[in-house]
Structure 1
Amino acid sequence: MELRQLSVAGAWEVALDPRRDERGSFTEWYSVGDFAGVLGAPLPLAMAGVSVSRKGVIRGVHYVDTPPGQARYVTCVAGEVLDFVVDVREGSPTFGGWDSVRLGADHARAVYLSEGLGHAFTALTDRATVLYLCSAPYAAQRERTVHPLDGELALPWPVSADVASLSERDRSAPGLAEAGRRGLLPSFTAVRGLVRDR
């Protein structure tokens, strides 16, 4: 397992190392020791989830009120997705910036997103299966979203992305600037304090 810092501070691409033989493969996709060694602390695991999406589905840009925030560790175990990390933390040096990683069974990668970062992806294949490990449980009242087609973010969705597939919540979400005006975005300073105290 090898971690590489993405262009958005607090986000990492994780190169996995599948062990293959004539029977198939085994992949260790999370290791407490590797995370603690690079990030200074393990991911406090509070929830695991799975989503299955048809080709073209867009999910995100989702984040959680901070505090308490929610760090996420994500991989795709069947099919393929284009995964985005979006900096929605007001005051961050990379505010409004994003990075992307292609995840899938043939790519042996995962993405770690610190608290306060936004997450989105689109399924590039039918039945793309994404697994999540999260540092805090789901709480609907703390969940936030920025519109994934916001022109200010200008995420480069592939041609196969299906705008009609957006959930009602994502379709009605504000853009990044509007979310800021409404006071819905996390503070970079608050997130740094939260991560430092972990």
Structure 2
Amino acid sequence: MPFEFEPLAIPDVILVKARAFPDERGFFMETFKQSEFARGGIRRNFVQDNFSYSRRGTVRGLHYQMNPAAQGKLVACLRGEIYDVAVDLRKGSPTYGRWVAALLSAENRRMLWVPEGFAHGFQALTEGVMVWYKVTAEYDPATERGLRWDDPALGIEWPLRQEAILSTKDAVLPTLAELSEADNNFTYGGHL
């Protein structure tokens, strides 16, 4: 099997380990295979791919889109290393307001599945980070929302906290406690 699927402390967030096949030329690996992902618990149709380039210290997030345009994300780091974070926003969830994180890098070739109902963000731990991710819904500015990256109530342990570089938009996002009912329409319904 070319993939291993490891649920994290919030079981709906899954670390995907892709198997590489090295030879004298380098290596080959599959990055997505619908039948394998379905067996691993990720049964989604991906409709858009995104790519970002970031300087060391950059924090992108915490972002999400509300229903009906909620996005599940399959995130991979193609160059460098990132600290990738998912925050549970599903009201009624036993893990509401909790977060999980994983180190993703070009070297470890791991991916993170962040389902709908979670805010997502990452911090670039090296210079010139390249991140690629697949999403289950197209970008929709009308449903786009965000959560403050350094919300003290969340207590996310960002590795380069003192070096954080933020966009103007991300710097003024609300905390979890400040989110209005209109900014979070996710509810928990068991495993996705």
Same fold (TM over 0.5): yes
Alignment of 1:153 onto 2:154:
yes
- In the alignment, what sits opposite 1:187? 186
1:137 CA displacement? 0.5
- In the alignment, what sits opposite 1:22? 24
Deviations 1:14-42 (A, max 9, x none): 0111111111111211110111112262x
- In the alignment, what sits opposite 2:127? 126
8 Å contact kept, 2:54–2:127:
yes
8 Å contact kept, 2:69–2:138:
no
SS at match of 1:59: strand
When residues 23 and 160 of structure 1 are mapped into structure 2, their CA distance, relative to the original with a 3 A threshold, is farther
- In the alignment, what sits opposite 2:106? 105
When residues 89 and 161 of structure 1 are mapped into structure 2, their CA distance, relative to the original with a 3 A threshold, is farther
User: Unpaired runs of 5+ in structure 1?
Assistant: none
When residues 193 and 15 of structure 1 are mapped into structure 2, their CA distance, relative to the original with a 3 A threshold, is closer
- Within 1, Cα distance between the matches of 2:162 and 2:76? 19
When residues 161 and 182 of structure 1 are mapped into structure 2, their CA distance, relative to the original with a 3 A threshold, is farther
- In the alignment, what sits opposite 2:91? 90
Q: How does the TM-score come out when normalised to structure 2?
A: 0.92
Q: CA RMSD in A?
A: 1.8
Deviations 1:66-115 (A, max 9, x none): 23311110000111101111112222110111111100111120001111
8 Å contact kept, 1:124–1:160:
no
Structure with the higher helix share, 1 or 2: 1
SS at match of 1:115: coil
User: Unpaired runs of 5+ in structure 2?
Assistant: none
Percent identity over the alignment?
A: 33
SS at match of 2:94: coil
Stretches of 4+ aligned residues off by more than 3 angstroms: 192-195
When residues 40 and 148 of structure 1 are mapped into structure 2, their CA distance, relative to the original with a 3 A threshold, is closer
Task: Provide the aligned length of Structure 1 versus Structure 2.
Answer: 190
Alignment of 1:137 onto 2:126:
no
8 Å contact kept, 1:91–1:187:
no
1:193 CA displacement? 8.6
Q: Could you tell me which amino acid in structure 1 is paired with residue 35 of structure 2? A: G
1:13 aligns with one of 15, 30, 53? 15
SS at match of 1:15: strand
